Chain A
Amino acid sequence: MADVPVGILAGTPSQTEARSQWQLVLRRFLAHRLAVAAGVVLVAAYLFSYLAEPLTGWGYKDLSPDLSQGPSGDHWFGTDTIGHDMFAQSMRGLRVSVHVSVVVAGIATVLGSVLGAVQGWFRGRVDGALGLLVDFLLILPLLPVLMVLGTRTRASGGSSLMFVAVIIGLFLWAPLARVVRGEVFSIREKEYIEAAEALGASNTRIIFRHLIPNAMSSIIVYATLTVATAILLETALAFLGFGIQPPEVSLGSLVDEGRDAARTRWWLFYLPGAVLVVLVLCVNFVGDGLRDALDPRREQRR
C-alpha cells in the first residue's frame, strides 16, 4: 500500500516528546496522595526488610540468649520462647508474604483476565468449556485441596515457597475469569470493538488491546483483593501446618504462633499482626490509586 501523499499536509509534524501512555498513568497515580503514601510505605517496608539483619544484628534464624523478652533497643519486636528475634522474623515474614502474594496474584490475574476475555469474546463452545472449568474451581473447597497438595509436595521432598504460590495461583483465577467474562460481554457490543474489527484487527489483538484494557479497572481491583486473599490463604495453610514450613516464616505463621501469647506476651501477636495489617492496607490503597490512574475516564478534563 502506498503512503498517503504527504504533499498536501500543512508543514511537517513538529517534534514532540514521546509521552507514552504509561507516563500518563504514572502522572495520574502520583496525583493520588494516599496511594502514593501507601506505595512508599510498601516499597520502603519491603526494602527495609533486607536491612533488618545488618541493622539489628539478628537474623531470622538466629537464636538469642534472651528468651521471651519484650521490645527493647536490642530486640525491637522482642523475642519468643526460644530466643528468635521477632523483628528479624517479622521482616522475613513480610518479605515471604509479599513474594507469595505477588506471585499468586500475578498468576491468578493473568489467567483470569485472558481466559475470561476469551470466554466473553468467542462465546459458544469455548465459553461453555472454560465455564465448566471455572465452575469446577469455584465449588472446590480450596483449603482441603491445597492441604492434600501440600502433603504430597512435602512427601516428595519439601515444598518450596514458589511452588506453594503457583499452586494457590492456579486455583484463584476462576472468580476473576467470571468477572472479566461478564465485562467483556458488555464491552464486545461497543462500537469501538466493531471499529477495531473493521480495521482488520485479529482476535488476539482485540482481546489484548481492546477488551482487557477496557476491563482493567475491575481486573486491578480484583488483583488487589487477590493479594489480600493470597496472604490470608497462605496464613491459613501455614497455621494448619502446610505450605510454608519452619524454619521459614511468613507473617501468617508468626501471627498464628503468637496468637496464644496475645494476652501475656503481646508483642508476639500484635507486632507481626500490625505489620500484616499495614501491608494489606497499603496494598489496597495502591490498588485504588492504580485503578484511578489506569482509567482515563475517571480523570477530569485538563
Chain B
Amino acid sequence: MTGQTSSRAEIPVLSVRDLEVTFPTPDGDVQAVRSVGWDVYEGEVLAIAGESGSGKSVSVMAAMGLLPATAQVSGSIAYRGRDVLAMSDKDLERLRGSSISMVFQDPMTSLNPVMAVGAQIAEGVRIHQRVNSRTARSKAVELLDLVGIPNPSQRVDSYPHELSGGMRQRAMIAMAIANDPDLLIADEPTTALDVTIQAQVIDVLERAREATGSALVIITHDLGVVARIAHRILVMYAGRAAETGIADGVFERPSHPYTAGLLGSIPRLDAPKGTRLMPIEGAPPSMLAPPPGCAFAPRCPRATPLCSQEIPELRPIGNQESACHHGEDQYNEAEDV
C-alpha cells in the first residue's frame, strides 16, 4: 500500500504485511484472509470495508492476537516495529487494551451483564495502570462524560441492561480509550445500532480519537457510515484487498467494480434525483474453495475470461490502488459520470 496520503515519514502504528489466515474445518481449510496488507499511521482514520466474510474482522483480530488457537496465521503484523504474531501471551496482554484497544460490534453482548459499566471501565484502567479503585472510578466518570453520556456520575453505577444500545456503545468506546491507546479498532461499531444513533456513535469515535490522538481503524460493511471521518479506505473482498486509497478519491472515482457496486448500493444525498440503488447481484464466494482468478469475477459486470484465470494484483490506478484487470476502465468511467 504505497498510495500513502501523508508525506509523513514516520513508521506506521500498525503495519500488516502479506497476512494470511486459514481456519481448518472438517470440510477443509477456510481461507479467511488471503494476503492482505495495510498500514495505519498516527492520528489517521482507516476504514476497512467489505461484505460479511470478506476477512476484515479476522485481519484485525489477528492484529490483537485474539484469533482462536486453531487459526493458521502467516505474514507479519508489526505494532510500532514489534512483531505481534511472535509476542508471548504476557506481552499480548500488556498490548491489548493499553496500546491497541477495540470496540466490538454488538454493545448488547460485549458488556458483562453482571458488572456495572463504570466498574468495567475502571477494570480496564486498573489492568494497565497502578491506580487505586477510587481513582479508577473517577476516571470512569470522566470517560463516560467524554463519550457524551449524560449524568456520568450516576450512570457509572448502571448495569448494561439499564442503558440503551447507543449508550452502551458509548460505554464500550469509553472502555476502549481508558488507557489512551495508540490504535483504536472499531469492528462494525454501528451495525447493531439504530440508524439514528449511528452518526452519533461515529462522532463519538472521532472525538475519542481526537482526545487520545490514536489511530482509528473502522471496520464496516456500510461505506456511507464512515464517509465523513475516514481518511483512507481499504475495500476487501474474499480475503483480499480489492481497492485502497484516499477516502475522497475512492468515493468519487472507484477503480474497482466491487467498490463501485458497494457505493451504488447505498443511498447518497448527492446523487442526481431519480438515481436507482444498484444491488450487487449474487453472493460472496465460499472461502473453502475460492474461485481461481479474481474472486469477484462471477458477480462482476466487467468480467472477461482473463478475470477468472488470473488473480489481479494490487496496482496503482490514478490516486488509488486497485486489484482489478479492468481498473482503468472503471476509474475512467467514474470520471465521465
Is the Cβ of B101 less than 8 Å from the Cβ of A213? no
Interface residues of A in 213-264 (CB under 8 A from B): 213-214, 216
B11 at the interface (CB under 8 A from A): no
A33 at the interface (CB under 8 A from B): no
Docked pose: A213 CA to B119 CA in angstroms: 13
CB distance from B104 to the nearest CB of A (A): 5
Residues 110-147 of chain B, each 1 if its beta carbon lies under 8 Å from chain A, else 0: 11111110010001100111000000011101110110
With A4-B146, A21-B119, A205-B127 given, is the CB distance from A198 to B113 under 8 Å?
A: no
B93 at the interface (CB under 8 A from A): yes
By a CB distance below 8 angstroms, the chain B residues around A11 are 145
CB distance from A161 to the nearest CB of B (A): 35
By a CB distance below 8 angstroms, the chain A residues around B110 are 191-192, 194-195
Is the Cβ of A194 less than 8 Å from the Cβ of B66? yes
Is the Cβ of B128 less than 8 Å from the Cβ of A1? yes
A15 at the interface (CB under 8 A from B): yes
CB distance from B108 to the nearest CB of A (A): 9
B175 at the interface (CB under 8 A from A): yes
Is the Cβ of B137 less than 8 Å from the Cβ of A296? no
By a CB distance below 8 angstroms, the chain B residues around A196 are 112, 123
A44 at the interface (CB under 8 A from B): no
With A195-B102, A200-B94, A201-B127 given, is the CB distance from A4 to B212 under 8 Å?
A: yes
By a CB distance below 8 angstroms, the chain A residues around B228 are none
A156 at the interface (CB under 8 A from B): no
A195's partner among B104, B152, B154 (CB-CB below 8 A) is B104
By a CB distance below 8 angstroms, the chain A residues around B139 are 3
Is the Cβ of A13 less than 8 Å from the Cβ of B138? yes
By a CB distance below 8 angstroms, the chain B residues around A198 are 64, 66, 96-97, 101-102, 104
A16 at the interface (CB under 8 A from B): yes
B115's partner among A9, A18, A213, A301 (CB-CB below 8 A) is A213
B153's partner among A13, A191, A194 (CB-CB below 8 A) is A13
Is the Cβ of B123 less than 8 Å from the Cβ of A209? yes
With A4-B146, A197-B96 given, is the CB distance from A191 to B123 under 8 Å?
A: no
Is the Cβ of A194 less than 8 Å from the Cβ of B119? no
A6 at the interface (CB under 8 A from B): yes
With A195-B110, A296-B161 given, is the CB distance from A9 to B145 under 8 Å?
A: yes
A288 at the interface (CB under 8 A from B): no
With A1-B179, A197-B66 given, is the CB distance from A192 to B96 under 8 Å?
A: no
Closest to A196 in B: B112
B328 at the interface (CB under 8 A from A): no
B145's partner among A10, A16, A191, A210 (CB-CB below 8 A) is A10
A8 at the interface (CB under 8 A from B): yes
By a CB distance below 8 angstroms, the chain B residues around A72 are none
By a CB distance below 8 angstroms, the chain B residues around A5 are 211
A125 at the interface (CB under 8 A from B): no
Which of A10, A13, A296 has the largest count of B CB atoms less than 10 A from its CB? A13
CB distance from A214 to the nearest CB of B (A): 6
CB distance from B25 to the nearest CB of A (A): 17
A66 at the interface (CB under 8 A from B): no
Docked pose: A4 CA to B138 CA in angstroms: 13
Is the Cβ of A13 less than 8 Å from the Cβ of B116? no
B180 at the interface (CB under 8 A from A): yes
By a CB distance below 8 angstroms, the chain A residues around B157 are 16, 19, 24
Residues 168-184 of chain B, each 1 if its beta carbon lies under 8 Å from chain A, else 0: 00001001011110000
A9's partner among B96, B142, B179 (CB-CB below 8 A) is B142
Docked pose: A87 CA to B101 CA in angstroms: 64
B159 at the interface (CB under 8 A from A): yes
By a CB distance below 8 angstroms, the chain A residues around B142 are 4, 6, 9, 13
By a CB distance below 8 angstroms, the chain B residues around A216 are 114
With A199-B127, A205-B127, A214-B114 given, is the CB distance from A3 to B152 under 8 Å?
A: no
A2 at the interface (CB under 8 A from B): yes
Is the Cβ of B146 less than 8 Å from the Cβ of A199? no
Is the Cβ of A13 less than 8 Å from the Cβ of B152? yes
Docked pose: A209 CA to B115 CA in angstroms: 9
B199 at the interface (CB under 8 A from A): no
Docked pose: A210 CA to B124 CA in angstroms: 13
CB distance from B88 to the nearest CB of A (A): 13
B162 at the interface (CB under 8 A from A): yes
Identify 19 residue pairs between A and B in the complex whose beta-carbon atoms are under 8 Å apart, listed by A's number.
A13-B152, A21-B116, A21-B119, A191-B109, A194-B104, A195-B104, A198-B66, A198-B97, A199-B127, A199-B175, A201-B127, A202-B93, A213-B112, A213-B114, A294-B114, A296-B114, A296-B159, A297-B161, A301-B161
Residues on B lying within 8 angstroms of A by beta carbon are: 64, 66, 93-98, 101-102, 104-106, 109-116, 119, 123-124, 127-129, 137-139, 141-143, 145-146, 152-154, 156-157, 159, 161-162, 172, 175, 177-180, 211-212
3 A-B pairs with the lowest CB-CB distances in the bound complex, closest first: A200-B97, A199-B97, A200-B96
